[in-house]
Amino acid sequence: MPAPRPVALVTGSASGIGAGIARRLAADGLTVVVHSRVSRAAGLQLAAEIGGTYQQADLADESQCRALVTGVTDEHQRLDVLVNNAGVSWPIAHDDLSAVTASVWRELLDVNLIAPWLLTSAALGALRSSPRPGGGAVVNITSHAGVRPKGSSIPYAATKAALNHTTRLLAAALGPEVRVNAVAPGLVDTPLTATWAGAQQLWREQAPMRRAAQPADVADLVSALVANSYITGEVILLDGGLNLR
């Protein structure tokens, strides 16, 4: 009888970067739980495509965060990998302080920082019980904006910087049973970024790799972090070398 497949939850995975990660982890032999807030049809379609399952939840709601993890563990009786990919962002000029209200801060903090914390906390028991080499794994998808003074807005960059530091703190606290790492992409080609002409031009002209990343580039790195049984506490910048300029 074959051994049960490890289970991965990838938040925000009905499209874009998250969908790329879900497809790659499924190809690696994991059962993947696809998640979205509103794109139920797309999420169900992807889950069927990769032989996984689907869960819907609004990660700005604490009770739904915890229910999402409970739904996964009730259905699969395990959770080995958590990829905190879901996030929110919209452009606000860095010098337009009046446009950044307290509600903007709260929404970005709720989804980009507090939700990954809540999900990791709720999943901790299952992650600690994972029989995989190296134990359970958490991978946070952050941003180059959390490493350099960049980004669509100051609150967005601040939430990603905080998630980077939280990644390191959790890695120190949860080893050796659970490893925690982060991938910090620069521009990634998705439907969301297709109209970002200025950013596209910047990466074509200034990045040593002369292009934006593809979702598969992010997914490859997530796959490697999940597979490696030793690496923890790392925030890996994935921006095609733009940080060198």
Q: pLDDT of 143-153, one tens digit each? A: 999 999 988 89
Does residue 1 belong to any structural domain of this protein?
A: no
Which pTM was predicted?
0.95
Q: Tell me whether residue 2 is in a domain.
A: no
pLDDT over 70 at 1, yes or no: no
Closest by Cα among 187, 189, 219, 185 to 202: 187
Helix/strand/coil for 147: coil
| CATH of residue 181 | 3.40.50.720
C-alpha 181/C-alpha 165 separation (Å) is 10
Identified catalytic residue from 52, 156, 159, 222: 156
> Is a pLDDT exceeding 60 seen at residue 191?
yes
In a domain, residue 245? The reply is: no
pLDDT on residue 213: 95
Domain count, the chain: 1
Residue of 197, 227, 190 lying closest to 85 (CA atoms)? 190
To the query of whether residue 156 is one of the catalytic residues in this protein, the response is: yes
Is residue 116 in some structural domain?
A: yes
**52 assigned to some structural domain:** yes
**Residue-wise pLDDT tens digits, 90-141:** 889 999 999 999 999 999 999 999 999 999 999 999 999 999 999 999 999 9
222 near 18, Cβ under 8 Å? no
- The pLDDT assigned to 93 comes to 94
* Residue 12 belongs to domain spanning: 7-238
Taking residues 195-218, report their average pLDDT.
92
Residue pair 6/29 in contact (Cβ under 8 Å)? The answer is yes
Structural domain contains residue 243: no
In a domain, 244, yes or no: no
pLDDT surpassing 70 at residue 2: no
